[in-house]
Copies of this chain bind each other. A is one copy, B any other.
C-alpha cells in the first residue's frame, strides 16, 4: 500500500458519517468522501463503500431525492437479530421445514420480532409463544438453509 496514514479510528469515522448524513442530503459516496475530507478525514470511495455496509446505511428516496441515511440500531438488522439470538436463545433445533428456538420465559416475542424484521430468503414466517419461537421455512430443504443461517448468526 502506498499511503497508510494516521490509521484514525474507524469507528470514529463511522460516527462522523452518521452525523454527516443526518445533517444534510448525501446522494453519492463521492459527496460523502468530500464531506469527510472537509472534516479532516481522508479516505477513498472504496473505503466509504465498506463503511456504508458496516454501519449500515441505507439509500432510499426521500423528499430530498435519493440519499443515504441511517435508521438507528433498530434498523441495523444484522446486528439486532444477532444480539437477540445471542441474548435470548437457549437452544435451536430443526425438523423438516421448522426451526424451533427455545428462549427464556417471556423472551420469545422479541426474538420473533427481530426475526420478522430481517429478510431471510428461506423464511416464511414466525410464531412466538412464551418461551418458544417457531420459524417456518418454505420447504424442508430450505429449513436446513435457514437453520444454518441462524446458527451462524447465533455464533454457536
Contacts and interface: CB of A to CB of B under 8 A. Distances in A.
Main secondary structure of the interface of A (DSSP, over half): mixed
24 contacts: A21-B119, A24-B121, A25-B119, A25-B120, A56-B60, A58-B59, A60-B71, A60-B75, A62-B118, A62-B119, A63-B78, A63-B120, A63-B153, A64-B119, A64-B120, A64-B121, A64-B149, A69-B119, A106-B117, A112-B129, A113-B130, A116-B131, A117-B130, A127-B129
A53 interface: yes
Nearest to A153: B63
Question: Taking the full assembly, how many copies of this chain does it contain?
Answer: 2
A140 interface: no
A119 B67 contact: yes
A61 B69 contact: no
Interface in A19-37: 21-22, 24-25
